[in-house]
A and B are shown apart, each in its own frame.
Chain A
Amino acid sequence: MAKKILIVGGGLAGTIVANGLCRQLHEELASGSVAITMLGASQTHMYQPGLLYVPFGRMRESELFRDQRKVLNRHVPYFVDPAKHIDVDKKVVTTESGKTHSYDFLVIATGSRIRPDNIPGMSEGGHWFYDLDGARKMRDALDKFEGGRIVVNINAPHKCPVAPLEITFMLRDYLEAKGLMDKSEITYTYPIGRLHSLEPVAAWAVPEFDRAGIKSETFFNTKSVDAKAKTITSEEETTLEYDLLVTIPPHTGQQVILDSDLGAGGWVPTGRNTLLREGSDNVFVVGDTTNLPISKAGSTAHFEADTVIDNITSLIKEDRWARQYDGKVFCFVETGLNSGTYVWFNYTTPPNPGPPSQMIHWFKLAYNRLYWLSARGLL
């Protein structure tokens, strides 16, 4: 009987795991002693970080998508039939169409989703770029914007933790280029008492905000949005008026995690070094789906996936554990439309971002294309 590896979720984390396992286990796949199957929600694979550029006309929608079956190794059957229920006791996943898939190893990579509907008025009053429809609407809103008060509002939890600063600096450059900055005001709100979770990034952002004329309101956790009055109010009892609200809505995990009783908020309790679901020895969790207190970011998914690939491969080939995940995260930080920096850290190494440069911005632009090599497990 073939060892069955089932990957639930066709985003970056699941796709890297699938392609990496195919490279590591190509002999076993060829002989039929291992089978890898993936369940996903879409025929297409989206490069999510590209959404940041859509509102500014810096990336076309067509550049964001590839056919998922072409991104995946041909040895992986891919079904556009999302998981509806995951039974980790019976080792069976039931899909929305009613099919069942048993497994020896399960990889849960269902990801996260934005929930503007969790805050009263946000869906009606806010713009966002964290999904394609939102990015399109924000692009249209910016096209019509003729100056005024912009509030960039960040909510917890959210993925891609540097995107809030990136969109703020890019907005500033965009308005400057359109000659609108003189009659505009940008106010950035953040849930905790500084401009970013990462202390060095927050410290770097303070003079950058001063230089760019960007205002800020920290300790701001959104309670409600009044779309008619165009105001946003925080749990901390601060109200701001806006003409354009750009928000990063709070996120949750996917419904299948909640429906399967696998974790509050849709986040699966996960071993910080093993990436095993707590209580399981054959269920791995990668990417945004974990409850780990680390950044929900593509690079996190990538480094976690590399660990899971090594461990599943070793367990199948040698019946032993390979290595532990060290909490590594790496993020590019766009500091405007023509400059960027980067930051990396892990569980034991604090972040220490360098000075922004045009070179790093160019490298980020290059990575926007190299992403597809990452997804294929080649980079």
Chain B
Amino acid sequence: MSERTKIDARGAYCPGPLMELIAALKLVRVGDEIEVLSSDKGSANDIPEWVKKVHHEMVGITEEDGYWSIVVRKAK
């Protein structure tokens, strides 16, 4: 049974949403999902770019009211 962890990185300038995602992926099992909430528009580009590079899976990106919800699945 896969689990989903939520990281509320809205207003987080340092270390920032992608760095939080990288750290969080080290703590979950293959198949688990992480949802990152980010108020930084750049994350909507940076996170998918990195996820593709390291061969994890993008589950989806949704623009909410003033922030983005980005869901990633750990694939390896």
Residue numbers of A with Cβ under 8 A of B are 118, 156-157, 161, 191-193, 197-199, 219, 221, 235-236, 250, 264-265, 272, 293-295, 327, 329, 345, 347-348, 350-351
Contact = CB atoms under 8 A, between A and B. Distances in A.
29 contacts: A118-B26, A156-B15, A156-B19, A157-B15, A161-B14, A192-B16, A192-B46, A193-B18, A193-B50, A197-B16, A197-B19, A199-B13, A199-B42, A219-B49, A221-B22, A221-B54, A235-B54, A250-B26, A264-B27, A264-B28, A293-B9, A293-B12, A293-B15, A293-B17, A293-B20, A295-B15, A329-B14, A345-B14, A348-B11
B61 interface: no
Given A198-B14, A293-B12, A193 B46 contact: yes
Nearest to A296: B15
Contacts of A347: 11-12
Interface of B: 5, 7-9, 11-20, 22-23, 26-28, 42, 46, 49-50, 53-54
Contacts of A161: 14-15
Contact of A219 (B9, B28, B42, B50): B50
Nearest to A292: B12
Nearest to B45: A193
A295 B53 contact: no
| Across the A-B interface, the 9 shortest Cβ-Cβ residue pairs | A293-B12, A157-B23, A347-B11, A197-B14, A293-B9, A197-B15, A197-B16, A156-B22, A265-B27
B53 to A, nearest CB: 5
Contact of A191 (B8, B9, B22): B22
A343 to B, nearest CB: 9
A193 B20 CA distance: 14
B13 A157 contact: no
A191 B12 contact: no
A250 B23 CA distance: 9
A191 B14 contact: no
Contact of A293 (B8, B27, B54): B8
Chain A at the B interface: SS class:
loop
Q: Among B12, B23, B42, find the residue whose CB has the most chain A CB atoms closer than 10 A.
A: B23
A192 B23 contact: no
Contacts of B54: 221, 235-236
A67 to B, nearest CB: 33
A294 B12 contact: yes
A351 B22 contact: no
Q: Among B13, B19, B28, B42, find the residue whose CB has the most chain A CB atoms closer than 10 A.
A: B13
A197 B22 contact: no
Contacts of B22: 156, 191-192, 221
Contacts of B50: 192-193, 219
A294 B9 CA distance: 8
A235 B53 CA distance: 8
Contacts of B19: 156-157, 191-192, 197
Nearest to A162: B14
B47 to A, nearest CB: 9
Nearest to A193: B46
Nearest to B54: A235
Contacts of A265: 23, 26-27
A31 to B, nearest CB: 42
A264 B27 CA distance: 7
Q: Among B14, B27, B46, find the residue whose CB has the most chain A CB atoms closer than 10 A.
A: B14
Nearest to A194: B46
Contacts of A191: 18-19, 22
